[in-house]
């Protein structure tokens, strides 16, 4: 009888631990829990300077603020021949949807390179390769290693060097407000959901939306 009681106690303890780790069984993985927490408690993005495809160095937070649009952000590197190309194709679909719905004055796309080798020319070539409309979709690269790490950590991007100068990395769509807050993370394989999440974020943007022309160079659940 004693062993039955011990077993029940052990099972109850295990269930309690699982309940805590999964945020009350609503999150089955650490990443799901992280995304749910971001939705409830948006993250302030760290200060970082970026290089634009026109060769200018600017503050990422200032770029977001001055532009005034909600941004859907992803991460890439220009030499990528696999995931980044697929990601670029999905982002192009988002670009087309934004323009088709007439949302280009309210939403924008940003692709951030984590590769220190990427320069302004690499960004410009990649932009052309992806069929990007510079008024809707901009490309920047993170140059400072400490700032790059802080940004990647905040967005949950893991980058691992691979043979032949390649990288292995995870990917997602990230919804960021003009005030510099990460408010949603959405799976890469459903850009429609990313668009819905970005539309939802518009309601939290105070004041008038800045016109898209002021921008430099330029189906997740809501």
Burial 184-200 (b: 16+ CB within 10 A, else e): bbbebeebebbbbbbbb
Q: Where are the domains of the chain?
A: 2-40, 43-214
Beta pairing partners, 108: 71
Q: Write 87-93 long-range contacts (CB < 8 A, 24+).
A: 87/171, 87/188, 88/126, 88/129, 88/130, 89/130, 90/188, 90/189, 90/191, 91/130, 91/137, 91/191, 92/130, 92/131, 92/132, 93/191
Task: Convert the pLDDT of each residue in 117-156 to its tens digit.
Answer: 999 999 999 999 999 999 999 999 998 999 999 999 999 9
Which helix (H) or strand (E) segment is 192 a member of? helix 191-202
Q: By three-state DSSP, how is residue 22 classified?
A: coil
For 43-214, the fitting CATH number among 3.40.30.10, 3.20.20.80, 3.40.50.1820, 3.40.47.10 is 3.40.30.10
For CA atoms 142, 172, 208, 133, give the dihedral sign. Answer: positive
Query: Is the pLDDT score of 106 beyond 50?
Result: yes
Task: Convert the pLDDT of each residue in 13-69 to its tens digit.
Answer: 333 433 443 345 444 588 899 999 999 999 999 999 999 999 999 999 999 999 999
Residue 85 C-alpha from the chain's centroid: 16
Confidence of residue 158 (pLDDT cuts 50, 70, 90): very high
Residue 73: predicted pLDDT:
97
pTM: 0.80
Confidence of residue 115 (pLDDT cuts 50, 70, 90): very high
Nearest to 77 by CA among 38, 135, 26, 119: 119
Residue 28: predicted pLDDT:
59
């Amino acid at each position: 009888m004693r062993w039955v009681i011990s077993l029940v106690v052990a099972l109850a303890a295990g269930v309690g631990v699982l309940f805590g780790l999964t945020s009350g069984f609503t999150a089955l993985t650490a990443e799901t829990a992280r995304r749910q927490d971001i939705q409830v408690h948006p993250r302030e993005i760290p200060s970082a300077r970026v290089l634009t495809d026109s060769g200018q160095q600017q503050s990422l937070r200032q770029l977001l603020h001055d532009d005034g649009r909600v941004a859907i952000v992803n991460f890439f590197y220009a030499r990528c021949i696999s995931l980044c190309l697929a990601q670029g194709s999905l982002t192009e679909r988002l670009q087309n949807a934004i323009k088709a719905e007439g949302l280009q004055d309210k939403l924008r796309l940003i692709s951030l390179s984590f590769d220190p080798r990427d320069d302004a020319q690499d960004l410009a070539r990649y932009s052309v390769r992806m069929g990007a409309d510079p008024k809707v979709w901009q490309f920047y690269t993170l140059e400072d290693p400490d700032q790059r790490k802080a940004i990647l950590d905040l967005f949950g991007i893991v980058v691992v060097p691979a043979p032949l100068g390649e990288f292995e990395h995870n990917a997602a769509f990230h919804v960021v407000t003009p005030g510099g807050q990460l408010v949603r993370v959405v799976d890469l394989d459903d850009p429609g959901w990313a668009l819905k999440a970005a539309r939802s974020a518009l309601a939290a943007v105070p004041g008038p939306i800045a016109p898209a022309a002021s921008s430099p160079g330029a189906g997740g659940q809501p």
